[in-house]
Amino acid sequence: MEVIATIAELESSLKPLKVKGLKIALVPTMGALHQGHLSLIAEAQKQADIVVCSIFVNPTQFTDPKDLEKYPRPLEHDIQMLTEAGCNFVFMPSVKEMYPNYPTPENWKIDLGSAEFVLEGEFRKGHYQGVTQIVFKLFDAVKPDKAFFGQKDFQQVLMIKNMVEVLDLDVQIVTCPIIREDDGLAMSSRNIHLNHADRANSLVLSKALFFIEDHYRTQSIEELLANSKAIIDSAPGVELDYLTIVDGDTLLPISSKMDINTVALVAAKVGETRLIDNVIIN
């Protein structure tokens, strides 16, 4: 695997492969890799000839400076995991490479639709402008045929698809399912921050979502929300930001049941660590 730090180097490495007609996949990450990330790499390998994984902890999408500062960065281990997975390139640029004038903000504001401002967008103001800004820069540097994202960040995929449409970008977005620990916790780089008690308490997030999934046919929306919130409340030290059942396009709460496009999403602070999760119900 080739480790690349600059956009110029990346472009010159990919050019001859593109000339040969090989299909390029991009898997954007912030590192601290786990099996969830590796599932994206594996799917990318199935669907393309060459896989580029980017590792970049993007400062413009963080709204909490402490969250940015303590974001895990086990770079050597990440490189080893990607090498073992057979990834072709890892792109690990510096902040200056991606934002030459950093910390002076660049001009980036695109219309991502009203769904930008709900759920994560409400709790992390400006988050999706930062996410789309860096994903646009990565698309521009790699010019992939396909880019792979996890359903764990459900709203993020929607925002990126909206950006692709608004800017008319020539890239196919592929969404991959959530990989979970054996007990149901969605894998996440931030799970590393959970202490023993937090780790046990964190299970109420996926339990609440699975409750909604299992009882969707038999309970009303009000009952589903009340009963799943009671599951969350049963764990000490779990502070709920939202638990909601929404239309997967608008991300607005549904008041009556739908037969398609229904998603339940949760975000909560478990101890000091903020986690998100979701299930697609139908």
Ligand X SMILES: Nc1ncnc2c1ncn2[C@@H]1O[C@H](COP(=O)(O)OP(=O)(O)OP(=O)(O)O)[C@@H](O)[C@H]1O
Ligand Y SMILES: CC(C)(CO)[C@@H](O)C(=O)[O-]
Q: Applying CB under 6 A, which residues contact ligand X?
A: 29-30, 36-37, 39-40, 149-150, 152-153, 176, 178-179, 186-190
Annotated binding-site residue? 61: yes
Distance separating alpha carbons of residues 2 and 142, to the nearest angstrom: 14
Is 37 considered catalytic here? Answer: yes
- In the complex, which residue's CB is closest to ligand BAL? 153
- What six digits make up the tokens of 235? 């764990």
User: What are the residues whose beta carbons fall under 8 Å from the beta carbon of 54, sequence distance 6 or more?
Assistant: 26, 27, 28, 29, 90, 91, 92, 93, 138, 142
Distance separating alpha carbons of residues 24 and 108, to the nearest angstrom: 26
Q: Least CB distance from residue 156 to ligand Y, whole Å?
A: 6
156 binds ligand Y, rule: CB under 6 A: yes
Give the number of residues written for the chain: 282
175 binds ligand Y, rule: CB under 6 A: no
- Going residue by residue from 57 to 86, which x/- string records binding to ligand BAL, judged by CB under 6 A? ----x-------------------------
Q: Least CB distance from residue 202 to ligand BAL, whole Å?
A: 16
Residues paired with residue 262 on neighbouring β-strands, in sequence order: 247
Among 43, 153, 198, 277, binds ligand BAL (CB under 6 A): 153
User: What are the residues whose beta carbons fall under 8 Å from the beta carbon of 20, sequence distance 6 or more?
Assistant: none
For ligand Y, the binding residues in 61-90 under the rule CB under 6 A are: 61
Task: Kindly give the pairing relationship between strand 89-91 and strand 50-55.
Answer: parallel
CA angle 274, 270, 186 (to 5 degrees): 70
The count of chain residues that interact with ligand Y, using the rule CB under 6 A, is 10
Catalytic residues, by residue number, are: 37
Binding residues for ligand Y, rule: CB under 6 A, are: 28-30, 58, 61, 131, 134-135, 153, 156
Binding residues for ligand BAL, rule: CB under 6 A, are: 61, 153, 156
